[in-house]
A and B are shown apart, each in its own frame.
Chain A
Amino acid sequence: MATKREHTEESTSATKRVKMENGNGKLDSANNPYLAHWNDDKTASADALADFRRHATTAEQASAAEDGPLNPFTGRSLSNRYMGILKKRRELPVHKQRDEFLKLYQENQILVFVGETGSGKTTQIPQFVLFDDMPHKSAQMVACTQPRRVAAMSVAQRVAEEMDVELGEEVGYSIRFEDKTGPNTMLKYMTDGMLLREAMHDNNLTRYSTIILDEAHERTLATDILMGLLKEVVLRRKDLKLIIMSATLDATKFQKYFHNAPLLAVPGRTHPVEIFYTPAPERDYVEAALRTVLQIHATEDEGDILLFLTGEEEIEDACRKINLEAQDLIREGGAGPLVVYPLYGTLPPAQQQKIFSPAPPPTQPGGRPGRKCIVSTNIAETSLTIDGIVYVVDPGFSKQKVYNPRIRVESLLVSPISKASAQQRAGRAGRTRPGKCFRLYTEEAFKKELIEQTYPEVLRSNLASTVLELKKLGVEDLVHFDLMDPPAPETLMRALEELNYLACLDDEGELTTLGSLASQFPLDPALAVMLIVSPEFYCSNEILSLTALLSVPQIFVRPANNRKRADEMKDLFAHPDGDHLTMLNVYHAFKSEEAQANPKQWCHDHFLSYRALQQADNVRMQLKRIMEREELELMSTPFDNKKYYENIRRALVAGFFMQVAKREGNGKTYTTVKDDQSVLLHPSTVLGQDSEWVVYNEFVLTTKNYIRTVTSVKPEWLLDIAPNYYDIQSFKKGEIKTALQRVATKVQRKEAEKGKR
């Protein structure tokens, strides 16, 4: 009861404030020319929303306002297209429960909302909130977070259309390195990571009246941290409302975590899905998957196929093979036409869009119907909804990020999916009509070998960056920070240690000036530190470019059918000292006049990803802005100076001194410093010469241990630039310690000689 009273008080105070503003507006607009636009806005929108009392509206009222004729938020007349969309919107499952939703929303500060994919929750719930919360009246916003950038962008676009407004005006989005919002924005779709960054500057998130965490079941790192944070913020800000939206029914975990918040569930529009298991385990899951797809195509009724595989290479390969085999089927077995589309994160958006094109028509009138087959990573599992899928083929694997603090490796590994994931995949077959899901494992394996839930990202990530953010957010006691699934203590231990070596935290665990500065950059701490200290090495321009290049997907393209040519092209840019410098050469060439004349063609000719380079250019611009804001000097060593590349390599050491490996004897094998892991240089490296010491960007775990993106460095630099980390006393007895000792003695002797002279 107490909470209810609180809310009524709040709503009255809110209405009071609104009234006052209205009053002021009327008063001032007459004689204050600066506030003239207030008047326009208010009179226009007052038509529909004037009688709305905040947190006391009904679905009926909202529907009336939606019907127009004027747009209740802009006051402009509504288009025909809007009316068409509105009709469809009202058929969505969530619409039936609008009143129920509003009641719970009004009565509670926190609400857990469960709606299966297809219920319309992502697009509709924020709009329901707008009509009741009316954030614009208090100059606030409603935020709706998405785990993926693409989703944030596409949903914002869709909702802008539904509300008949311009994207970037009333409805906008904000993702890393791109902000499409304006002063009128009242509904903001954003990545969860962006909201977390905003919280760093505004610990109470005062710009927002309601925060919706969408796709919370995906349990991304940022969503988990946000939940921990918002759990505290709601105690400080009683006027802030929080909605947790999840697509799976295990929402009780969310309820429990948020002090038994009420739950509202909306059924999705799903049809039954029949599940088939294999009688025995499959020896080769890709082979089995291809066989299954072709069998479906040859024998099953009309309906599209969705096959889940693990990665780009595997998917492209499978697409090729299915295409070939399908040709035979069509020719010999009289099967209908089959079109195969790949789908994975790094695929250009235009090609991603292809998956929505309809299945091909029969080859001749009256012939067997055509079919499309989508071969996808697990992005088709939750985030993308493809209609027309009737058959799902699930080999039971996905690529998952794994982090282990003991050997400090963060890698994408092919791992078995969870039961929850398998169910989600199966559900994809029942979107349009009853479907079938073919699991390429036995029922017993499903029961015994698959874990219940996929591990949340927070358990599988390096937390250095998160710890820095939390420190910046003012969370002092990280040990007792209330995460839904706290990671192993060692993960936090390692993160704190790394930040200490990077001088972002002092020995007491307090944020240093450098740490505070590093937290301003949306980058990994090592990259941020490298960028911040780069002026000391007279190469901040170059390090800025390099940081941008390391923050985007792979810039080198190596198509399976043209590897040799691609490698030849890469050799044009190769720098003998390593991959970082090679990437820099590519970027400089890309920015040259010759390339910029027709950058797309130039990239194509040189086997480079135009999209990645363009993105790097954009990231560079954003980072440059932050550097300018933080008054970090941008400078370069003259290119003809022989120290040009050396300075860059030294700056690289300043950030990546914890990612160094030394060659074992004269062999090919390297050993990582401190962790003593035996690694090989990734075959993609250009590093040709014998380099005893290298810094690496990534430790990749496959059946072999690889280090990727490597550049040769001098051991003297390590001792000079990171003396804390390269404290020889702290090293285990072994080849590396001996080598470092030798270097230290040499350096001392040299200095002594200098001293004599």
Chain B
Amino acid sequence: MTQSDEEDDYMNMVFEDAPKGPTHETALQRAARKRKEGEARARQKTKAEREAEAEEARETALATALPETNKGFKMMAKFGFKQGDTLGKSENARKEPIQVSIKEGRSGIGVESEKKRKLREAWDEAARAAKRSKEEEGDYLEERKQHLKEKKMERDLDSAQRTAERLSGQEDEDKGGQPKEEKQLKDVNVLWRIRARRREEKQRDLQQKKELDNSLTSRLPTLANDEDEEDDDSKVALGRDLNPFYTSLETELEPEDPELADFEGLPVAERLHEVLVFLREKYKYCLYCGYQYPDAAMEGCPGLTEEDHD
């Protein structure tokens, strides 16, 4: 990850092809440098800086072994001591002094390691999240693409269904059959039945709206005889005429259509596929060519799907 970041670090301020400055500094430059250095030296270090420096100096010194030039080393060498040897006669004597570790604050045992563990976990988690977000990013694009594709397929399906309906209507007319409007919903081919269904629903909505409008007008205050002008609801409520009640109930009832439900439950791609196949087989029509071929060979059409037409 870091590797690739370094590769295309567009924030990099090093201009490799920048012209190199003069190799010798001029008197002015030197004076400027000296001044800067002097300022840096004279500046009072902040407390934090001093503490950090002290700690660093300490850690460095703690990590540095005494050199062989140490006078004590020479005295020990007299008794055969060599660099890397241990003292005494036991085999597992220590070579290095015990580590000096300074405890800060009052945190209990295990807090430090717990902190480290948590830090490591957080780090791992961040790494995972970064990886995941990258994956998700890919997913999103993919999904978006899929979504668009589906949308397109839905549009294609719609036009394919329309075409199929049109062609089948033409066929029916040619045969001298019933016009589509009079056809019972269940007699419509399931491949485009949804269109007929939608139309019917729309019709019904319009109908209801009209009825509502009518009933509203009827409620407007009039001076006419109340007895005859009662609306359906009143009639129902008064128990004089129950007919409107039943009819409205009937019209509101959705007729069960498992066949349609099954078909509509299929993914859009499959539905499209079926309609396309139907169009080709029944009417030698290709949606993407937009042309009804004269024979079953459909010469000139590259294939069933849109991709074939690319």
Residues of A within 8 A of B (CB): 278, 280-288, 395-397, 402-407, 409, 413-416, 440-442, 444-446, 448-450, 455, 459-460, 477-497, 500-501, 505, 507-509, 667, 669, 675-679, 701-705
B106 touching A441 by the CB < 8 A rule?
no
Contact A509 to B108, CB < 8 A, known contacts A491-B97, A492-B87: no
B79 touching A477 by the CB < 8 A rule?
yes
A405 touching B109 by the CB < 8 A rule?
no
B109 touching A416 by the CB < 8 A rule?
yes
B113 CB to closest chain A CB (Å) equals 6
A467 CB to closest chain B CB (Å) equals 9
A482 touching B88 by the CB < 8 A rule?
yes
B105 CB to closest chain A CB (Å) equals 8
B97 touching A441 by the CB < 8 A rule?
no
Contact of A497 among B70, B98, B102, B113 (CB under 8 A): B70
B66 touching A405 by the CB < 8 A rule?
yes
A669's nearest neighbour on chain B, judged by CB, is: B50
B88 touching A486 by the CB < 8 A rule?
yes
For the complex, is B228 an interface residue (Cβ under 8 Å from A)?
no
**Which residues does chain B contribute within 8 Å of A413, judged by CB atoms?**
100-103
Lowest 5 A-B CB distances belong to which pairs? Answer: A486-B88, A282-B108, A445-B110, A496-B72, A509-B75
**Which residues does chain B contribute within 8 Å of A500, judged by CB atoms?**
71-72, 75
For the complex, is B104 an interface residue (Cβ under 8 Å from A)?
yes
Bound form: Cα–Cα A704–B53 in Å: 11
B39 CB to closest chain A CB (Å) equals 14
**Which residues does chain B contribute within 8 Å of A395, judged by CB atoms?**
108-109
Q: List 6 A-B contacts (CB under 8 A).
A: A288-B108, A478-B79, A480-B87, A482-B88, A489-B86, A493-B76
**Which residues does chain B contribute within 8 Å of A288, judged by CB atoms?**
108
A282 touching B57 by the CB < 8 A rule?
no
A416's nearest neighbour on chain B, judged by CB, is: B109
A459 touching B109 by the CB < 8 A rule?
no
B65's nearest neighbour on chain A, judged by CB, is: A490
**Which residues does chain A contribute within 8 Å of B78, judged by CB atoms?**
508-509
**Which residues does chain A contribute within 8 Å of B93, judged by CB atoms?**
485-486
A316 CB to closest chain B CB (Å) equals 15
B114 CB to closest chain A CB (Å) equals 5
For the complex, is B12 an interface residue (Cβ under 8 Å from A)?
no
Contact A282 to B100, CB < 8 A, known contacts A508-B75, A667-B44, A676-B61: no
Bound form: Cα–Cα A397–B103 in Å: 10
Bound form: Cα–Cα A413–B86 in Å: 26
B31 CB to closest chain A CB (Å) equals 23
A292 CB to closest chain B CB (Å) equals 11
B97 touching A492 by the CB < 8 A rule?
no
**Which residues does chain A contribute within 8 Å of B222, judged by CB atoms?**
none
B289 CB to closest chain A CB (Å) equals 72
B70 touching A493 by the CB < 8 A rule?
yes
B79 touching A486 by the CB < 8 A rule?
no
Contact with A along B85-100 (1 / 0, CB 8 A): 1111110011111101
B98 touching A489 by the CB < 8 A rule?
no
Bound form: Cα–Cα A339–B306 in Å: 91
For the complex, is B80 an interface residue (Cβ under 8 Å from A)?
yes
For the complex, is B51 an interface residue (Cβ under 8 Å from A)?
yes
**Which residues does chain A contribute within 8 Å of B88, judged by CB atoms?**
480-483, 486
For the complex, is B4 an interface residue (Cβ under 8 Å from A)?
no
Contact A282 to B107, CB < 8 A, known contacts A493-B66, A497-B71: yes
Bound form: Cα–Cα A67–B72 in Å: 59
Contact of B107 among A284, A448, A491, A678 (CB under 8 A): A284
**Which residues does chain B contribute within 8 Å of A449, judged by CB atoms?**
109-110, 113
**Which residues does chain A contribute within 8 Å of B111, judged by CB atoms?**
281-283
A276 CB to closest chain B CB (Å) equals 14
**Which residues does chain B contribute within 8 Å of A455, judged by CB atoms?**
98
A488 touching B103 by the CB < 8 A rule?
no
Bound form: Cα–Cα A404–B102 in Å: 13
Bound form: Cα–Cα A492–B79 in Å: 13
B79 touching A479 by the CB < 8 A rule?
yes
**Which residues does chain A contribute within 8 Å of B106, judged by CB atoms?**
283-287
B49 CB to closest chain A CB (Å) equals 11
**Which residues does chain A contribute within 8 Å of B100, judged by CB atoms?**
402, 404, 407, 409, 413, 701
Beyond the given pairs A441-B108, A481-B88, A490-B66, 13 more chain A to chain B contacts, judged by CB atoms under 8 angstroms and listed by A's residue number, are: A282-B107, A282-B108, A285-B106, A396-B109, A404-B98, A414-B103, A416-B109, A479-B87, A490-B65, A493-B72, A494-B70, A500-B72, A509-B75
B54 touching A677 by the CB < 8 A rule?
yes
For the complex, is B62 an interface residue (Cβ under 8 Å from A)?
yes
Bound form: Cα–Cα A507–B74 in Å: 8
B170 CB to closest chain A CB (Å) equals 79
Secondary structure at the B interface, as helix, strand, loop or mixed, is loop
A676 touching B109 by the CB < 8 A rule?
no
Bound form: Cα–Cα A490–B62 in Å: 12
For the complex, is B58 an interface residue (Cβ under 8 Å from A)?
yes
Bound form: Cα–Cα A317–B90 in Å: 45
A406 touching B110 by the CB < 8 A rule?
no
**Which residues does chain A contribute within 8 Å of B87, judged by CB atoms?**
478-481, 483, 486-489, 492
A704 touching B110 by the CB < 8 A rule?
no
B107 touching A496 by the CB < 8 A rule?
no
Bound form: Cα–Cα A722–B81 in Å: 29
**Which residues does chain B contribute within 8 Å of A416, judged by CB atoms?**
109
B287 CB to closest chain A CB (Å) equals 67
For the complex, is B73 an interface residue (Cβ under 8 Å from A)?
yes
For the complex, is B64 an interface residue (Cβ under 8 Å from A)?
yes
Bound form: Cα–Cα A483–B75 in Å: 19
B104 CB to closest chain A CB (Å) equals 5
Bound form: Cα–Cα A455–B101 in Å: 14
Chain B positions 99-133 with a Cβ under 8 Å from a chain A Cβ = 100-111, 113-114
**Which residues does chain B contribute within 8 Å of A404, judged by CB atoms?**
62, 97-98, 100
**Which residues does chain A contribute within 8 Å of B66, judged by CB atoms?**
405-406, 490, 493-494
**Which residues does chain A contribute within 8 Å of B62, judged by CB atoms?**
404, 406-407
A459 touching B98 by the CB < 8 A rule?
yes
B60's nearest neighbour on chain A, judged by CB, is: A676
Contact of A440 among B90, B105, B108, B113 (CB under 8 A): B108
A281 touching B98 by the CB < 8 A rule?
no
B94's nearest neighbour on chain A, judged by CB, is: A488
B296 CB to closest chain A CB (Å) equals 78
**Which residues does chain A contribute within 8 Å of B105, judged by CB atoms?**
284
**Which residues does chain B contribute within 8 Å of A440, judged by CB atoms?**
108-109
Contact A489 to B81, CB < 8 A, known contacts A396-B108, A414-B103, A444-B110: yes
B109 touching A488 by the CB < 8 A rule?
no
A444's nearest neighbour on chain B, judged by CB, is: B110
**Which residues does chain B contribute within 8 Å of A396, judged by CB atoms?**
108-109
Bound form: Cα–Cα A489–B104 in Å: 29
Interface centre among B50, B61, B106 (most CB of A within 10 A): B106
**Which residues does chain B contribute within 8 Å of A479, judged by CB atoms?**
76, 79-81, 85, 87
B295 CB to closest chain A CB (Å) equals 82
Contact with A along B140-165 (1 / 0, CB 8 A): 00000000000000000000000000
B51 touching A704 by the CB < 8 A rule?
yes
B102 CB to closest chain A CB (Å) equals 6
**Which residues does chain B contribute within 8 Å of A485, judged by CB atoms?**
90, 93-94
A213 CB to closest chain B CB (Å) equals 18
**Which residues does chain A contribute within 8 Å of B108, judged by CB atoms?**
278, 281-285, 288, 395-396, 440-441
A442 touching B103 by the CB < 8 A rule?
no
Chain B positions 201-215 with a Cβ under 8 Å from a chain A Cβ = none
A450 touching B109 by the CB < 8 A rule?
yes
A679 touching B54 by the CB < 8 A rule?
yes
A68 CB to closest chain B CB (Å) equals 49
